[in-house]
Structure 1
Amino acid sequence: MNNLAELPITALKGVGDKFAQVLGKLHVSTVQDLLFHLPLRYQDRTRVTPIAALTPGLDAVIEGEVRAADVVFGRRRSLVVRLQDGSGTITLRFFHFSAAQKNRFARGARLRCYGEARRGSAGLELYHPETEIVGEETAPHPDTLTPVYPLTEGVSQGRLRGLMLQALDLLERGGVTELLPTELLPAAMRYPLADALRYLHTPPAGVDLAQLAEGQHPAQQRLAIEELLAHHLSLLEVRRGNAAIAAPPLSANAALERDFLSRLPFSLTGAQQRVCAEIAEDLASHRPMMRLLQGDVGAGKTLVAALAALKAIGTGAQVAVMAPTEILAEQHRRNFCGWLEPLGISVAWLTGSLKAAERRAQLAAIASGEAQLVVGTHALFQPEVVFHNLALVIIDEQHRFGVRQRLELREKGSADGAAGRLQPHQLIMTATPIPRTLAMSAFADLDCSVIDELPPGRQPINTVAISNERREEVMQRVQTAVAEGRQAYWVCTLIEESESLQAQAAETTANELAEVLTGMRIALVHGRLKPDEKERVMAAFKAGEVDLLVATTVIEVGVDVPNASLMIIENPERLGLAQLHQLRGRVGRGSIASHCVLLYGTPLSQNGRARLQALRQHSDGFAIAEEDLRLRGPGEILGTRQTGEIQHRIADLQRDAHLLPQVQRIAAAPALDESARRALIARWLQNKPRYAEA
């Protein structure tokens, strides 16, 4: 079969029906889908680095002879292997190991390792490196860079790379259709599609790694413009569909709103009042509100959302508030209960971790209309959740949900009215500031409101960038802060998409900190913890029972601990500026001076240095977003992406903003026929045009 868009993934050797279901979580169902599942980054395994030449924070291949392998009992049992080559000696440390693994590392054995060198108590160490015994069967070093792909549970990098080689072999025989007429592409991007795919899966040794990391290679830009075009075309379809929808008009209940405002210990800022007026005008209309509410960390978006909710509740309707994580949903529940329950308004709670009996009770309250406001996670759009009269949907951090989920929640509020099919109004909140030019393109079907004023009294956060070579100084800084009665975060960032790898990195860091920081209460939170375990750790941190919280980026939004005044972010150069700004916003929430330490790996690229400098100079999220756009930093393509989300695979809206005018020009060109438009949407959005990112 020539057309790889129609060749099922089960046509590849080693993919049965069960594994095909696992790959389905990555939106891979055909061989073409697999080819468009692009690497997040690359590892250079093409050469061996002498141990003496290792740089802390960088991944490398080393080879050497095992001099010793001992089980050491410190704060935690670990296997310590000493490896020596002609230039020097290094320690390999394993916290998870078996007797068989220990026996592999016999004295005199020759070992090849791959991992990241870190400074340890006895010089440089590699934590949990990949290892193989060097012998006659050892594979030669590859002559191309090694791709690192987004993963989901049940798929390893090795297995995915093996499948990709089969797919590339099929690509050699043709089968990926050029959908864009060459004359529509800018001259610099007339790069054959098959060549671009081949290059990005197997870049040759010696390639400019910085250019690839920053998404500037012509092969990347060729695919980025096609992906942005597919999203733009699908947005046009969404907009056409929305034009025919009606919604219930929601008028103000002045007495209820006066009662609410009179109980607040502060007044609304001018920006909050302006945005509330914009939302009120939308809600009074017969057309569904589709409004994006932007506001920096701490600008008071939730309060604006509560006032919008009162408009619906005041007319006897229901409101749903959806958040991407249980931590953030719980934060909203506490806020809304505190504000609305004194007004006699019933707040329900729905997440995946509720016990069966409690869940049944909440579902009944939602279905009967007894629950006037429902706060929850993605559990809100499960089939068994039936609303009595849903008129307003409020979604926080919408970019973390697939738009498919957002539309499913909207469908739950659909009802038949005099004007035909009625659908609820939508208010979408984000603390990730989006430059205006970008918002016009990326959120073209939404109206936009901005809270551009912070409430008085917020403490500025002092941000410093420190090299990982001064790691011990930073640990001492944590010790001092805790001794003064403060709490701290230590955030571990890892590019790999696998939650198990992220959890392992955080666990390794927590163990390392526990060995150095004596007498400190350290807790760990990551994406693999069960929701109730995560909640328990966060509650202990909030209650002051934990001094140092070691976490992955799961704490990016929704965590409010006023006594936490110090934030350490490891490898900040791996995250987008917006995400770093979000993480930094977890401190500075009390009345005490707060600090954020960006603990970067060396050497730092020029672009990385400029981005960290921007974060140090600016506290305003919109200034940071504009700077990110100016630098065209790697953004989300090198940041953490939630596994399984529908989103961009190679394009980055901030980095590739300069392509958007060309995308709009191509979309309007008569030379792009209807069949090509449909095929583009299908290629990039898995035949779900209405689920484009809005």
Structure 2
Amino acid sequence: MPKRHGGASVDLQLQPLSSLPGVGPRVAEKLAARGLTTLQDLWLQLPRQYEDRTSLTPIRALQPGVAAQFEGRVEAVERGFRYRPVLRVAIGDDSRSTLVLRFFHFRAAQVAQFRVGARVRCYGTPKPGQLGLEIVHPSYRVLDDEDAAALGDRLDPVYPAVEGIGPVSLRRLIGLALDRLPDEDALELLPAELRQRLSLPSLREALLTVHRPPQDADVAALIAGVHPAQRRLALEELLAHHLSLRRQRIAQQAHRAPALKGLALAERLRKALPFALTGAQKRVFDEIRADLAKPSPMLRLVQGDVGSGKTVVAAMAAMIAVHAGKQAALMAPTELLAEQHLNNLRAWLEPLGVRVAWLAGKVTGKARASVLQDVASGQAQVVVGTHALMQEGVAFRDLALAIVDEQHRFGVHQRLALRDKGAGGAVGADAIVPHQLVMTATPIPRTLAMAAYADLDVSAIDELPPGRTPVQTVALSDERRPDLVQRIRNACAEGRQAYWVCTLIDDSDEVEAQAAQSTFEDLSRQLAPLRVGLVHGRMKAKDKQATMRAFKDGELDLLVATTVIEVGVDVPNASLMIIENAERLGLAQLHQLRGRVGRGQAASSCVLLYRPPLSTLARQRLETMRQTHDGFVIAEKDLELRGPGELLGTRQTGLAGFRVADLVRDADLLPQVQALGERLLAQAPDTAQRIVARWVGGAARYASA
């Protein structure tokens, strides 16, 4: 292939897929629906796994859970219709072992193929069945006795499905696209010295190895995702995401922000508090104070466990803004959480003469008009609310600090919308924008923070206030439910309150979980005359708020709820948390739910109620919950067990869907990614732009970044 340089290479990479034989308008439309529009998109449509059809395994040597290829003859065929049509085919081989193939979807022609004595070659993953090993819906070929049927000479890639395009057709199209790969020099964007230092191949070699593994390829490494070719691709993909976030940060820093330096009001608040700040709170406040004093916008994430005191630190930051004659806003994802902040801030700030305003969806009519006027005139110095703060018609006189709580519940565009309230609608480098402080009670593992929050400075409040007694955590089989009902009765007799958390709203035949509705009815009957309330996600917001408020005010003894209470109400009198079907929840969610109790002086307990038998993963989760209360330790374990997808919210959807990178497996690459990213942004911004475009797509996704 002739050498291609500069523009020629870029043009080739961005050639439309309609340039490939067999890609007409209808096929192109189906590919485009999956985001596949150029040759480069197909090069980067990487296999999700491999099938090893290079050898045959005797049936006797097959292992449950390990995919393999084998050959044998049909010994028996049975069609059944007990619950639904099923076809069972017994296959035996020279090792005198038998395996059953099971099909639920089949045609009459398939049944006819499986005549007794027919020779069949199959590929699939065996699992234990009623009569030994079986494979459900294997891929197979019926062979003639004379058919030599050569074995494959390399691993077969298996690609993510594209609706309307069969796997064979997709593999053919990707092969055609690979035939047009430019030469090494035209394709490569990473420095040669870095690749040599890390012993990584060129991009061209890596793509060909991953799509077309040679015969001598390390099969185990490829299947585990740790082959040098995959590491090469993971490095560039991580770099692309890092660069896109860093460019977002640079664009933000190009704006100006008010330099806020006066500490007198913050100091008055600190001295008036009925408790002393922890060392971690002081450290994080010092970091925020230094940021606020600069004329460029602060972009800081404060993470810390439930109860670590993030709100106090945010209130002190707000006092720096108010001291300068400006405004601060605090936005929370739910009315209940926002109202909790409102109550705290009013208790702390109003004695200092600071006016705290409330703006949420339920504030309507004249009351809303009055609040909007106070916000616009600047009389409202601190404004607390939900996403209502971002609506049209809300205009601040001089917003200098935007605080967002539980930031993973908001998308990046929502956060930017609040920022733009401070810019007064102005855009461009001349706009003066507020400082941004975002908070989360979901501790984030260091590796995940490095990758997911490269546009933010990260602070951790990793110390709980003194006097907080750890919640005693036990795991019990659901056979012990009657004991728990009595335990609730005893706790409530002592004037305490309890939570009972369910994972579903309605009963389901398919999922074995007690539904909140039926649990509420059962417990109301068993615990009469105790007062039992119910909260779930399908209730109207005002009904949900009313029930939560009744629980907070002590008008209910037991609250039966779905996981909607994971982030929310603070009830110091609640000392018992029961989590039903705890094996179904992730560690981060279990930890958040446990954080609802242990907020008062009384010793508190959390019971993880599970339905045996437990999977290995569920057992590890429950054991981790019993062993530690440290949210950062739990977050690291959660990342190890589940990966990043569920630990990140709407803002980082791209990170959860990496094509090849894995933040746990490839964590050791992140320091290299950070160093190279800074170098490229400083010395080769055009190259940085091309890397982002290759992996992340057009700038639109991170626009206003």
Query: TM-score category by the smaller chain?
Result: 0.5 to 0.7
Matched position secondary structure for 2:525? coil
Determine if contact 1:400/1:645 at 8 Å carries over to the other structure: no
Number of the residue aligned with 2:620: 610
Q: Does 1:245 align with 2:245?
A: no
Ranges in structure 2 where 5+ consecutive residues have no aligned partner: 1-13, 20-24, 49-80, 87-103, 112-135, 140-159, 182-186, 212-219
Q: Which structure has more RCO (C-alpha within 8 Å, separation ≥ 6)?
A: 1
Distance in structure 1 (CA, Å) of the matches to 2:577 and 2:335: 22
2:656 is the alignment partner of 1:648: yes
Report the alpha carbon displacement of residue 484 of structure 1 after superposing the two structures with TM: 4.0
Q: Give the unaligned 5+ runs of structure 1.
A: 41-107, 114-132, 145-160, 198-207
Counterpart position of 1:687? 700
1:515 matched to 2:522? The reply is yes
Aligned to 1:55: none
2:408 aligns with 399
Q: Of 228, 238, 246, which aligns to 1:236?
A: 246
Counterpart of 1:151?
none
In the alignment, what sits opposite 2:315?
306
State the distance in 2 between where 1:363 and 1:195 align: 61
Q: Following the alignment from structure 2 to structure 1, what is the Cα–Cα distance between the partners of residues 241 and 260?
A: 32
Does the 8 A contact of 1:522 with 1:549 survive in 2? yes
Q: Structure 1 residues 271 and 518, CA, compared in 2 at 3 Å: closer, same or farther?
A: same
The percentage of counterpart residues that share the same residue type is 50
Counterpart contact for 1:475–1:517, Cα < 8 Å: no
Structure 1 residues 628 and 507: alpha-carbon distance in aligned structure 2, compared to 1, 3 A threshold: closer
Q: 1:270 aligns with which of 279, 294, 298?
A: 279
Pairing partner for 1:387 from 389, 396, 419: 396
Range that drifts further, 370-379 or 619-628: 619-628
**Secondary structure at 2:700's aligned position in 1?**
coil
2:445·2:636 contact (CA, 8 Å) conserved in 1? yes
8 Å Cα contact 2:408-2:651 kept in structure 1: no
Report if the CA contact (8 A) 1:299-1:451 is conserved.
Answer: yes
1:347-395 per-position Cα deviation (integer Å, ceiling 9, x unaligned): 2222334435443333332222222111122222233322110001111
User: Aligned-pair distance for 1:678?
Assistant: 3.5
> What is the alpha-carbon distance in structure 2 between the residues aligned to residue 215 and residue 358 of structure 1?
58
Distance 1:167 1:353 in 2: 51
Partner of residue 91, structure 2? none
Q: Contact 1:252–1:311 at 8 Å: present in 2 too?
A: yes
Is 1:365 aligned to 2:370, yes or no? Answer: no
TM-score, L = length of structure 1: 0.66
Cα offsets for 1:499-534 (capped at 9, x unmatched): 9999x9998233135225525443332333332222
Over 3 Å counting, the alpha-carbon distance change for 1:473 and 1:646 in structure 2 is farther
Residue 263 of structure 1: CA displacement? Answer: 3.5
Map of 1:579 onto structure 2 = 589
What does residue 536 of structure 2 align with?
Answer: 526
Contact 1:489-1:567 at 8 Å conserved across structures: yes
Shift of 1:552: 2.9
RMSD: 5.3
Measure, in 2, the Cα distance between the counterparts of 1:389 and 1:538: 35
CA offset at residue 309 of structure 1?
A: 0.5
Compared CA separation, residues 573 and 224, structure 1 to 2 (3 A) = farther
Counterpart CA distance in 2 for 1:516 and 1:242 is 53
Please state how far the C-alpha of 1:445 moved relative to its aligned partner: 3.5
Q: Distance in 1 between matches of 2:498 and 2:164?
A: 45
Measured in 2, the distance between the counterparts of 1:225 and 1:167 equals 30
The alpha-carbon deviation at position 229 of structure 1 amounts to 3.9
Q: Which residue of 1 aligns with 2:436?
A: 426
- 1:276 Cα deviation from its structure 2 partner: 2.3
Per-residue CA deviation, residues 393-413 of structure 1 (Å, 9 max, x unaligned), is 111122222222222221221
* Paired residue total: 563
Tell which structure's C-alpha radius of gyration is larger.
Answer: 2
8 Å CA contact 1:565, 1:595 repeated in 2: yes
Instruction: Give the aligned partner of residue 691 of structure 2.
Output: 677
Confirm or deny: 8 A CA contact 2:404 2:439 kept in the other structure.
yes
Question: 1:687 deviation in Å?
Answer: 3.5
Contact kept in structure 2, 1:681 and 1:689, CA below 8 Å: no
SS state of the match for residue 687, structure 1?
A: helix
Equivalent residue for 1:287, pick from 296, 305, 322:
296
Contact 1:575 1:640 (8 Å CA) reproduced? no
Structure 1 residue 584, shift from structure 2 partner: 1.0
Post-superposition shift, 1:594? 0.8
Distance 2:507 2:553 in 1: 28
Q: Distance in 2 between matches of 1:4 and 1:335?
A: 58
Where does 1:257-656 land on structure 2 (aligned, <5 Å)? Answer: 257-414=266-423, 420-436=430-446, 438-468=448-478, 470-493=480-503, 508-515=515-522, 518-520=525-527, 521-628=531-638, 632-637=640-645, 648-649=656-657, 653=663
1:45-56 correspondence runs (5 A)? none
**3-state secondary structure, aligned to 2:555:** coil
User: For 1:616-655, what per-residue CA distance to the aligned partner results, in whole angstroms no more than 9, with x for missing partners?
Assistant: 22222233334445xx120553579669967623577567
